[in-house]
Structures are given as structure tokens and as C-alpha cells.
Amino acid sequence: MLANYGKKRTIGIDGKTVILEARLPRRKREPGKRGGRPAKYGAAFEAVLACVWEDHGRSCGKLLAPMIRGMIDFLAASKEPDYGITDAIKALLVKVSGAQIDRLLKPARKALALRGISTTRAAGASLRSQVPVQTHFDRKTVKPGAFAFDTVGL
């Protein structure tokens, strides 16, 4: 099969010409079904994870995973209405990895990203002529403690 994979041969059976092709049959997927593994974490889990992430510093998954494992009993017993941690969600919170937390929180992080134009602008010609700019320093004129800086707007 491997040596003849993809090759076509024609043979005659009962006076009819038949074309044979060596290949594996294609698996047909049911309509409406996605491929791959079934989803392990549902929307309820993602909502709880996003609330915990918001309330505890918005840290990365590598830092959030051990923190959740350490305080899972406290989180489950808290009276926060947003958490709503059931036993099934508690079991998933203990097992979830840091990388998976980062993947699940990607939409929440994207929603908080800054958008729009920057507040820094190019200086006009009149401002450039008013600000003295020194392009090089002589060793004799630079005193200890001299520094240069730039401002950036957010």
C-alpha cells in the first residue's frame, strides 16, 4: 500500500474497465461537528477564571495557576457572586496549566488593550528652533552627574 500510494491502475473485470487507486479512505465528519478534542473548559469556567484574574492583579498564567491552587478553598468559600465556583469548576481550577490560562484569558486581555492614536506628536518647526540640541559631548564640558532624558506620553 505504501509503495503504491496515490498510483492509479486500470484493470478489466467482466469486460468493464475499472480504475483502482491506492489510498486511505477519508473519514467523513458529521455536519455541525468540529474536529479535534472536545472542549474541556466551558463558558462558566472561563467566566470564573476571568473574575479571579481581574480581582487578583491580572497576572500571567504562570503566576496565576499556583496562586489559584494555593487559595482554591478560600475562593470557593468566598461570598463573591461573580465567582460561583462549583465542585466541577473547582476541580478544573486545580488542574489548569499556566499556558492554558493564558489561552483562555486572551480575549479578556485583548478587551483591555489600549487602542487609538498615541499622545506623542512630532514637534513643530517653531518648537525645534527653540530647543537647543547638542549632538555630541566634549569630555571637558561633561560634568559627573549630567544626564539626558526624553518624555513619553501614554
pLDDT, tens digit (0-9, with 9 covering 90-100), for 48-57: 999 999 988 8
pLDDT, tens digit (0-9, with 9 covering 90-100), for 17-39: 998 887 777 777 778 777 778 88
* Entry pTM: 0.55
Contacts of 102 (CB under 8 A, 6+ apart): 60, 61
Query: Domain ranges in the chain?
Result: 43-112
